[in-house]
Amino acid sequence: MTTRTEKQEDSMSTATTPTRAPHSDVPTGHKEDRVGAGLFDPRQLVKSLPDAFRKLDPRVMIKSPVMFVVLVGSVLTTVFSFKDPGDWFGWTISAWLWLTVVFANLAEAVAEGRGKAQADTLRKAKTDTVARRLVGDTEERVPGTELRVGDLVVCEAGDVIPGDGDVVEGVASVDESAITGESAPVIRESGGDRSAVTGGTKVLSDRIVIKITTKPGETFIDRMINLVEGAARQKTPNEIALNILLASLTIVFLLACATLPPFADYAGTQLTMVVLIALLVCLIPTTIGALLSAIGIAGMDRLVQRNVLAMSGRAVEAAGDVSTLLLDKTGTITLGNRQAAEFVPVGDTTEADVADAAQLSSLADETPEGRSIVVLAKEKYGLRERHQDELFGAEWIEFTAQTRMSGVDVDGRKIRKGATASVISWVEEQGGTVAEDADEIADRISEAGGTPLLVAVDDEQGARVLGVIHLKDVVKDGMRERFEELRRMGIRTVMITGDNPLTAKAIAEEAGVDDFLAEATPEDKMALIKREQAGGKLVAMTGDGTNDAPALAQADVGVAMNTGTSAAKEAGNMVDLDSNPTKLIEIVEIGKQLLITRGALTTFSIANDVAKYFAIIPALFAAVYPGLNKLDIMGLASPDSAILSAVIFNALIIIALVPLSLKGVRYRPVSADRMLRRNLTIYGLGGLIAPFIGIKLIDLLISLIPGIG
């Protein structure tokens, strides 16, 4: 029994130090209001337009095969128009093809511009500071840019931290608002999992010694700036595969268009080069080709808005395919601080007696557990809140890891509260006895997932156990519903905890997770991740300590807490700047939203192209093949009007879909087959219908222009 209770009550050994204000757990989804301008904010469009024109560089355009073909087509139609300056049709087609390319670039530029707004904020935190470098026992002042990995620097209140590193001596309050947007300071101290500091943040109190862990130019802020600006964004595997598919379709349609002139000659009609290029541009999947890059950038930007930095687009994409989620119990599923739930008397003792003794013994206990005992005694049993200075002559017994008890000696009584085994030993040392039901009550509380603390007294009646305090690890509100959502998404949740199996099972059942790993060691976490991956599953997990680094590196999506060690942040492929472990659930949803948005717009684009066939092919060949008139569903005014209407619609639909590509298709936790049916209904059917309506309306407007209709 001693071994079991020691494991259950380990958290009595240290007081919990809050590292962030209570409101830091609130999701930061509204951050986009302060990060960047909206899509159609004139200032954002003006800033993005020059970038859109700069992207016309063929060396940039060739990265998107579909839009590169449109660019080449724009150049060729312009050349042919110069050969026949009086051909209004050629000039009009050329103008709209150029607008198609510019609109595509503008979509990407606007997406990148939203990231640059965040980068501008980060640059304000990146200052050229003077560092106080330690050389032996002396300090020397050097520019922060001269610091090297392994250098030791001193920072005191008011100093700006000159580079990324770990605190190796001291403890201090640090202002990280320039990076996280969170106004509440955080605690950074040596020797724990909250030792990492970031260059550009400011020390508010005390003195710390920092060991530099990164080179100048490779700091956390430098990497963030590059990533949010898109400078370091690599195409993801799915994005590369989709690009290959789009390039293949482009080649197919290119070959198809190349075979049309012989058919036209045979039929006795003529197709000009301008018409063939317009036909090609309308038939290839320009819509998704134009928006593909913007969708990827916007996915990373949505993470930035929630204060999550993705080290690669691959990590965001992998989050959308995650099938197993490893979640730490403390601070993620539960509040992290155990709270007193009830006082259970033993023998002939009353609840009021237990509450009174428990409150007295906890007045000097500054741990969250101790404070919760005082509050419960006051609220449930009507005991007024007493203070240490009211009890004259009292001798306070502070909690230590050796005694595992706290208490007070006052008015001839000795009151103790602490771990089951420790309190029983104390009572026996005082010559007292322990009621038989004390052990039974403690066991029952343990089996229910709680932590029992015994309360004992030594007075005129002798030493005895008065009762048991039931400490409960409180599950956060709404967690069961969130796990139910994840289950509908097809994601299996596993709770990771250092608790014994009995406690872990009780918490897991209350929270609603699918499975749990109790008494978990770093090796156990690694083994679990590898087992899941061996079964073809993608695994996501969070961590903040050096001992989490191997598992974070092994996981497909490893989210490191910003409050954690440098080793954890280097091992993960995402960093949560708010250090809120529940953010992992939001990250998975954003990843799925990215994949769904890409799939939905691809479906819309291909369906769009099918509808354009009915606009262009009948217009080109109906005169020589009257049977094609049956396909002329739209009844367009003329061949020229039909082609021009399709080209104009092709350009305008890109700019119309930019808000959707940046905002993302709304994600709902439903099964894959329902999601597929929904996409086909909304974006497949919508992609078929929209061109019929859009092209017909544009044709009606064009036909009103004299000389065209």
**What is the distance between the alpha carbons of residues 597 and 591, in angstroms, rounded to a whole number?**
10
**Residue 231, pLDDT score:** 45
Read off the pLDDT of each residue in 445-474 and give the average, rounded to a whole number.
Answer: 84
Residue position matching structure tokens 């079991």:
4
Judged by average pLDDT, the poorest of 198-207, 473-482, 658-667 is: 473-482
What the chain holds in terms of domains, given with CATH numbers, is: 42-113+229-301+590-703 (no CATH), 148-215 (2.70.150.10), 321-333+477-577 (3.40.50.1000), 338-474 (3.40.1110.10)
**Residue 550, pLDDT score:** 86
Numbered residues of the known binding site = 365, 369, 399-406, 417, 544, 548
The dihedrals phi and psi of 632, each to the nearest 5 degrees, come to -80, 70
Tell me whether residue 84 is one of the annotated catalytic residues.
Answer: no
What pLDDT band is residue 73 in, cutting at 50, 70 and 90? very high
What pLDDT band is residue 78 in, cutting at 50, 70 and 90? very high
pLDDT at 246 over 80: yes
- How many Cα atoms are found within 13 Å in the side-chain-facing hemisphere of 572? 31
What pLDDT band is residue 675 in, cutting at 50, 70 and 90? confident
What integer best gives the mean pLDDT of the chain?
79
Numbered residues of the known binding site for Mg(2+) = 544, 548
**What is the distance between the alpha carbons of residues 228 and 119, in angstroms, rounded to a whole number?**
6
Q: Are 52 and 109 in contact (CB under 8 A)?
A: yes
DSSP state at residue 682: I
pLDDT at 422 over 80: yes
Start-end of H helices in 167-270: 177-180, 220-228, 237-258, 260-267
Let me know how long the chain is: 709
The terminus-to-terminus CA distance of the chain in angstroms comes to 93
Give the whole-number percent of the chain exceeding pLDDT 90: 10
Q: Are 399 and 405 in contact (CB under 8 A)?
A: yes
Q: Which of 40-54, 522-536, 665-679 is most confident?
A: 522-536
Cβ atoms < 10 Å from Cβ of 28: 19
**What is the distance between the alpha carbons of residues 552 and 545, in angstroms, rounded to a whole number?**
10
Element containing residue 459 per DSSP (H, E) = strand 451-459
**Residue 72, pLDDT score:** 94
Q: Are 170 and 206 in contact (CB under 8 A)?
A: yes
Q: Are 330 and 336 in contact (CB under 8 A)?
A: yes
Interstrand relation of 130-135 and 165-175 (parallel, antiparallel or unpaired): unpaired
**What is the distance between the alpha carbons of residues 203 and 221, in angstroms, rounded to a whole number?**
17
pLDDT at 6 over 90: no
pLDDT at 649 over 90: yes
Read off the pLDDT of each residue in 638-642 and give the average, rounded to a whole number.
Answer: 82
Read off the pLDDT of each residue in 517-543 and give the average, rounded to a whole number.
Answer: 87
Give the whole-number percent of the chain exceeding pLDDT 70: 82
Judged by average pLDDT, the poorest of 373-387, 513-527, 684-698 is: 373-387
What pLDDT band is residue 10 in, cutting at 50, 70 and 90? very low
**What is the distance between the alpha carbons of residues 604 and 667, in angstroms, rounded to a whole number?**
17
pLDDT at 635 over 80: no
What pLDDT band is residue 661 in, cutting at 50, 70 and 90? confident
**Residue 180, pLDDT score:** 61
Read off the pLDDT of each residue in 124-153 and give the average, rounded to a whole number.
Answer: 81
- pLDDT tens-place string over residues 23-58: 333 333 334 333 333 444 667 677 788 888 888 999
Q: Are 93 and 644 in contact (CB under 8 A)?
A: yes
Which residue did the predictor score with more confidence, 317 or 274?
A: 274
Which residue did the predictor score with more confidence, 448 or 157?
A: 157
Read off the pLDDT of each residue in 418-429 and give the average, rounded to a whole number.
Answer: 88
CA nearest neighbour of 480 among 515, 518, 509, 506: 509
CA nearest neighbour of 481 among 316, 302, 217, 669: 669
Cβ atoms < 10 Å from Cβ of 693: 12
**Residue 152, pLDDT score:** 92
Judged by average pLDDT, the poorest of 179-188, 203-212, 509-518 is: 179-188
DSSP state at residue 40: T
- How many Cα atoms are found within 13 Å in the side-chain-facing hemisphere of 63? 13
- How many Cα atoms are found within 13 Å in the side-chain-facing hemisphere of 577? 27
**Residue 12, pLDDT score:** 33
pLDDT at 444 over 90: no
**Residue 193, pLDDT score:** 64
Q: Residue 458 CA to chain centroid, in angstroms?
A: 54
**Residue 653, pLDDT score:** 93
What pLDDT band is residue 119 in, cutting at 50, 70 and 90? low
Interstrand relation of 492-496 and 324-328 (parallel, antiparallel or unpaired): parallel
Of 151, 164, 193, 328, which residue is the catalytic one? Answer: 328
Q: How many DSSP H helices and E strands does the chain contain?
A: 26, 21
Q: Does pTM top 0.85 for this prediction?
A: no
Read off the pLDDT of each residue in 356-384 and give the average, rounded to a whole number.
Answer: 79
**Residue 139, pLDDT score:** 87
pLDDT at 408 over 70: yes
3-state secondary structure of 176: coil
**Residue 263, pLDDT score:** 79
* Pair of tokens at residue 384: 């007024």
What pLDDT band is residue 17 in, cutting at 50, 70 and 90? very low
Q: Which of 27-36, 52-61, 377-386, 624-633 is most confident?
A: 52-61
What pLDDT band is residue 341 in, cutting at 50, 70 and 90? confident
**What is the distance between the alpha carbons of residues 697 and 596, in angstroms, rounded to a whole number?**
30
The dihedrals phi and psi of 227, each to the nearest 5 degrees, come to -70, -45
Q: Are 21 and 463 in contact (CB under 8 A)?
A: no
Read off the pLDDT of each residue in 53-70 and give the average, rounded to a whole number.
Answer: 90
**What is the distance between the alpha carbons of residues 548 and 525, in angstroms, rounded to a whole number?**
8
Read off the pLDDT of each residue in 306-333 and give the average, rounded to a whole number.
Answer: 80
**What is the distance between the alpha carbons of residues 678 and 335, in angstroms, rounded to a whole number?**
38
Q: Residue 180 CA to chain centroid, in angstroms?
A: 13
CA nearest neighbour of 467 among 367, 373, 378: 373
* Pair of tokens at residue 86: 């009086």
Which residue did the predictor score with more confidence, 578 or 331?
A: 578
Element containing residue 111 per DSSP (H, E) = helix 88-125
**What is the distance between the alpha carbons of residues 597 and 47, in angstroms, rounded to a whole number?**
26
Q: Are 504 and 482 in contact (CB under 8 A)?
A: no
* Pair of tokens at residue 90: 């050629």
Cβ atoms < 10 Å from Cβ of 138: 7
Read off the pLDDT of each residue in 288-304 and give the average, rounded to a whole number.
Answer: 83
